[in-house]
Amino acid sequence: MGDAETTELLAKVLTVSDGVVAGTREDTSGQALVDHLGAAGWTVADRRVVADGVESVAGALTELADGFCGLIVTTGGTGFGPRDLTPEGTRAVIDREAPGLAEAMRLCNPKGLGRLSRAIAGTRDQALILNTPGSTKGAIETVDAVLDVVPHAIVLLAGERPH
């Protein structure tokens, strides 16, 4: 993979939303993440939408992580609603949790709704998975809270020593 400064930064975005799948809601947070990551120098290699649920999230993340070395960001399903099961679907497929990233993402807006987030972060093979809220503002804020350290994490996941 090489030096984090010269390596192509690859990302994938997964929107988790019954409403988007049904066509009753626009995927604004997914599009915002694609645009924001692109502006930050990331190449978004894939973008998908799945319904809420443990199995749907776990299945999509397994497919997205297969053979992939990079960042996977989910948006949606991290709250307290009965169908908000993105963390459970993520936990079912990750190898290791990254609690420091999830904590930093929650702390980016200490007086806001971030305190209600159940989002997790973790790794599956060479992919780093971050759960973000379904709101556009929340998704961007939480990704920005950790994006500066993500390239280093991906270099480490690739088994390379950082320079």
Contacts of 66 (CB under 8 A, 6+ apart): 125
Q: What is the pLDDT of residues 60-94, one digit of tens each?
A: 999 999 999 999 999 999 999 999 999 999 999 99
What's the pTM? 0.94
The pLDDT of residue 20 is above 80: yes
The pLDDT of residue 97 is above 50: yes
Whether the Cβ atoms of residue 133 and residue 139 lie closer than 8 Å to each other: yes
The pLDDT of residue 119 is above 80: yes
Domains and CATH numbers, the chain: 9-157 (3.40.980.10)
Phi and psi at residue 149, in whole multiples of 5°? -100, -10
